[in-house]
Structure 1
Amino acid sequence: MKMLIDGEWTDAASGETYEVRNPASGKLLDTAPLGGAEDVKRAVDAAREAQKKWSAMPARDRGRIFFKAAQRIRDRQADLATMLTMEQGKPFKEARDEIQGFANILEYYAGISAALEDGLIPLAQGKRGAVLRRPIGVCGAIIPWNVPGIIMGWKVGPALITGNTLVLKPATTTPLTNLSLAYAMGEAGLPKGVLNVVTGPGKSVGDEIVRNPGVRKISFTGSIETGKRVLQAVSASMKRVTLELGGSDPMIVCDDFDINKAVAGAVHGRFYNCGQTCTAAKRLFVFEAIADEFIGQLKSRVERLNVGNGMDEGVEMGPLNNRAQWEQIKGLVEEVRTKDEGRVIVGGRVQDGEQYRNGFFYMPTLVTNVAPDSRLLREEVFGPVLPIVVVKGLDEAIERANDTKYGLGSSIWTNDMEKAKAACERLESGITWINQHVKLPPEMPFGGVKESGIGRENGLETIDAYYELKSIML
């Protein structure tokens, strides 16, 4: 496959490529251009030129292109989902939902496009003011491999609907879906140069996007460590920045809630996408009054999870996406055993069987009696491992949930709305779910507090992050 610069499908300036392989089988899927700084510079130049006409187009007309693109993507949902499953590893059903989610995002921003206009403000003594909203210019987006379709939508939707143009870098392991989505948008009438996709490693492509003076805003999704480096780099030129830097989301299960429903929520919240989701339920706090029954039911349900190739019928959890992630998860669980930091009650090892031999499979894992200073509780665990902590009540659960540098998501499972209200007010996170976890519709702003990020994506709240605002006094 080739990358997209100025509406043309092109090779890297170096002429080099790299392999994209299926994480379930190790089989070669395709190759992608090994882009570098020169390719980014070409893309930025193209985006800058395209932005002149794109920003002059009425927002409603940009919205019409979004509507057409969403329909094309829905028409090809099965093919796009197959590609996503094969390069990322997730079950086909999850991939299909993700492709639909990308279309939903485009339709949401298309739907609000007519309301994106300047406004008059009544002032004292009969005077008036006005606020002019003008696009920033060329924006840069760097996205990860875990949910590449949805996260691409989070960047593309608000950036383009507000009249900006975009240079996007996919993750090296999952470029094919992003390129295909960009192709569909081009077919729907997106002008050349408005959306450019440059494939290649972060050290060359990502670094140039961040540092290039022609890029005036960066939207990055990834680790805290990389996000801090991005923030340092953009500070030199005072670029706008949105950072979504992952989390270690607590899930609190109270003793008044239906145990069967909470167990189902924990299984979905932790093992959806093989646990490789920023907002996955990564730390489970369960009230001691129901702990034994809850853990017993959870153990039974996790033991029955159908793990395999995401394209196979009935598979509920696929492989980890890449070797580095697979090795990290193996190492974390082994560390827990070596340091006696917890008790593995389910899983805790590589999946057995010939069908798993060439893939990055790891058994869904539950760990109880977790030491407070274990990395399972202190760091973001990006894989199918769930630490379980028994607490006496809500106060202890909230205190322990907040004892982290992360603050992305959280959830509470209770029938008592006073407990739910207290959790929403006291949990230090950008989003709190009540009796659910993970779901993120495009209407709702999404982002973190503390070290989980800066700014918000989704919803109306992200729109002003893609505008320069100018106040006019009449």
Structure 2
Amino acid sequence: MTYQNDLKLFIDGAWQAGEGRDCHEVVNPATAQTIASLPLATKEDLDHALDAAQRAFPGWRDTDVDNRAAILHKAASYLKKNAKDIGALLTQEQGKPVKEAVAEVYGAAQMFDWYAEEAKRDYGRTLVRPTGQRSIVIRQPVGVVATFTPWNFPIYLLAKKVAAALAAGCSVISKPPEETPACTQAVARALEDAGLPQGVFQLVHGVPDMVSRHLIGSDIVRKISFTGSIPVGKHLMKLAADGVKRLTLELGGHAPVLVFDDVDLDATLDKLVPQKFRNAGQVCVSPTRFYVQESIYDDFIKGFAERTGQVKVGDGLNEATQMGPLANARRPDAIEQLVNDARDKGAKVLAGGERGGNGFFYQPTLLADVPLEADIMSNEPFGPVAVARPFKDMDEALEQANRLPYGLAAFAFTENLRRANILGDRIEAGMVGINNFAISSADAPFGGVKDSGFGSEGGKEGLETYQVTKAIHMS
């Protein structure tokens, strides 16, 4: 489809165009060509958004939960109805294959549908007290929320935060990434179409540091939810500390994959390789550090390399494409630096290892026998690169899996149930997949430990993160 070059801010129920504002150039990563100009919010725009969210909060907080749910369901219907068109916008802005993009839109719709119903299940509790006395515990919306989301899953991650916050009864100011404005703008249009009251949701783009400082520094904002890099997450924590703001942080990872010698190797590889190169490896839970038991290591890297070489790379709008470009011009440079460092320190390049195409492409890559001192063994590549090393036994595998300060996701493949139980207990990660990668769903908590952040999104935990707990004692 033709790209939608009509980018605006959404504040206080109204769409606002350029009108003298500074602009950001939106680039198609498959061609490296500018496709649109995005207006950036001023401080006055942010003040307008803060005032609108503050004014709208009491009315939305007091809206009957069934009415809230109906609006969220209608927003979900809008996304599903327009999934193909929105997915095409996402592909042109971010690069992922259009099949993945459309699936992301449906995932976003699922978030709105699920939280519409979860709000109805938000029960408190009654404490045991003597006759004539009552003590109850209830949860109430925290207030105005500011959300910050990245470009790798721009619609899904925005919906994950916004759906839960709105279901809880909060009003929201969202700053999605400047790289992917048209597809995230579709979320605002879905909520507008659903009849969300004016001012309950605002969508602003702008210079990230200015926007984050301005919103977090405001007394109006009571809660911040951020998905992104560890350095930025730590920066936002410091900004939030001055106002004792509540925080949910989903930060980076460097997911280990432990493969034991009792697996069906071909079947396991058929799962691993497509998952590694999904969204060109630009996934916070992407399997990246492959630790493989010695007895099957040589066969594993051979099979992995063969499958990697067969991945079809190209423009995401082409239905045959299995992996698109990286999302922006910074990513190929970063990947190239990590691969060259690993190669210089003795790693074997068994597949890929080079740039490709006129856009921001990098070949699907497998590095084997990667020494621990290589930068890529300690720093998340966030791109289409898999690194592999052998291990002797489970203790060594666990030591390697847990050696980094990250703990977002981890995966293990084994047919031994006893071993699977131990791995689930001992791997230091917020989410562990045993023989599968299905760790992100609307009804399950999603979050990390250690430097990978704290708090969870998804599931009932995702609703509670936008609420405060209150105990009421009566006699």
Give TM-score, length-normalised by structure 1: 0.96
C-alpha contact 2:332 2:355 (8 A) present in aligned 1: no
Kindly provide the amino acid, as one letter, of the partner of residue 369 in structure 1.
D
Q: Deviation at 1:330?
A: 1.1
Q: Provide the C-alpha distance between the structure 1 equivalents of 2:52 and 2:346, rounded to a whole number of angstroms.
A: 53
Tell me what 1:138 maps to. 144
Tell me what 1:400 maps to. 400
Distance 1:243 1:341, change over 3 A: farther
Tell me what 2:182 maps to. 176
% same residue: 37
Unaligned runs of 5+ in 1: none
Q: Provide the C-alpha distance between the structure 2 equivalents of 1:362 and 1:449, rounded to a whole number of angstroms.
A: 30
1:141-220 → structure 2 map (5 Å cutoff): 141-220=147-226
Q: Provide the C-alpha distance between the structure 2 equivalents of 1:126 and 1:253, rounded to a whole number of angstroms.
A: 60
Kindly provide the amino acid, as one letter, of the partner of residue 107 in structure 1.
D
Tell me what 2:325 maps to. 319
Q: Deviation at 1:120?
A: 2.4
Q: Deviation at 1:251?
A: 0.8
Unaligned runs of 5+ in 2: 1-6
Kindly provide the amino acid, as one letter, of the partner of residue 449 in structure 1.
V
Task: Give yes or no for the alignment of 1:88 onto 2:87.
Answer: no
Superposed CA offset, 1:127-150 (max 9, x none): 431113221111000000001111
Kindly provide the amino acid, as one letter, of the partner of residue 122 in structure 1.
V
C-alpha contact 1:118 1:132 (8 A) present in aligned 2: yes
SS in structure 1 of the partner of residue 272 of structure 2: helix
Task: Give yes or no for the alignment of 1:423 onto 2:420.
Answer: no
SS in structure 2 of the partner of residue 403 of structure 1: coil
Tell me what 2:122 maps to. 116
Match of 1:58 among 56, 64, 67: 64
Q: Provide the C-alpha distance between the structure 1 equivalents of 2:97 and 2:455, rounded to a whole number of angstroms.
A: 31
Task: Give yes or no for the alignment of 1:433 onto 2:433.
Answer: yes
Tell me what 2:109 maps to. 103
Q: Provide the C-alpha distance between the structure 2 equivalents of 1:243 and 1:463, rounded to a whole number of angstroms.
A: 15
Tell me what 1:19 maps to. 25
SS in structure 2 of the partner of residue 216 of structure 1: strand
Q: Deviation at 1:449?
A: 0.5
Superposed CA offset, 1:362-407 (max 9, x none): 0011111111122211111110011101111221111100000000
Tell me what 1:412 maps to. 412
Q: Provide the C-alpha distance between the structure 2 equivalents of 1:347 and 1:464, rounded to a whole number of angstroms.
A: 44
Q: Deviation at 1:12?
A: 5.7
Tell me what 2:310 maps to. 304
Match of 1:349 among 351, 354, 358: 354
Question: Which piece of structure 1 moves more, 463-472 or 359-368?
Answer: 463-472
Tell me what 2:289 maps to. 283
Q: Provide the C-alpha distance between the structure 1 equivalents of 2:59 and 2:173, rounded to a whole number of angstroms.
A: 17
SS in structure 2 of the partner of residue 131 of structure 1: strand
Distance 1:126 1:255, change over 3 A: farther
C-alpha contact 1:309 1:319 (8 A) present in aligned 2: yes
SS in structure 1 of the partner of residue 406 of structure 2: coil
Tell me what 1:464 maps to. 464
Q: Deviation at 1:117?
A: 4.5
Tell me what 2:4 maps to. none
Tell me what 2:384 maps to. 384
Tell me what 2:365 maps to. 365
Tell me what 1:76 maps to. 82
Task: Give yes or no for the alignment of 1:254 onto 2:260.
Answer: yes
Q: Deviation at 1:14?
A: 5.1
Superposed CA offset, 1:49-82 (max 9, x none): 1112111101221011111111111110100100
Give TM-score, length-normalised by structure 2: 0.96
Tell me what 2:3 maps to. none
Superposed CA offset, 1:15-38 (max 9, x none): 222211110012333221122332
SS in structure 1 of the partner of residue 376 of structure 2: helix
Tell me what 1:40 maps to. 46
Kindly provide the amino acid, as one letter, of the partner of residue 157 in structure 2.
I
Kindly provide the amino acid, as one letter, of the partner of residue 314 in structure 1.
A
Kindly provide the amino acid, as one letter, of the partner of residue 252 in structure 2.
G
Q: Provide the C-alpha distance between the structure 1 equivalents of 2:19 and 2:375, rounded to a whole number of angstroms.
A: 42
Kindly provide the amino acid, as one letter, of the partner of residue 72 in structure 2.
F
Tell me what 1:442 maps to. 442
Q: Deviation at 1:13?
A: 7.3
Question: Which piece of structure 1 moves more, 123-132 or 293-302?
Answer: 123-132
Q: Provide the C-alpha distance between the structure 1 equivalents of 2:338 and 2:263, rounded to a whole number of angstroms.
A: 32
**CA RMSD of superposed structures (Å):** 1.4
Q: Provide the C-alpha distance between the structure 2 equivalents of 1:467 and 1:96, rounded to a whole number of angstroms.
A: 31
Distance 1:257 1:34, change over 3 A: same
Q: Provide the C-alpha distance between the structure 1 equivalents of 2:124 and 2:171, rounded to a whole number of angstroms.
A: 20
SS in structure 1 of the partner of residue 29 of structure 2: coil
Distance 1:377 1:126, change over 3 A: farther
C-alpha contact 1:20 1:173 (8 A) present in aligned 2: yes
Question: Which piece of structure 1 moves more, 263-272 or 313-322?
Answer: 263-272
Tell me what 1:328 maps to. 334
Distance 1:159 1:134, change over 3 A: same
C-alpha contact 1:13 1:36 (8 A) present in aligned 2: no
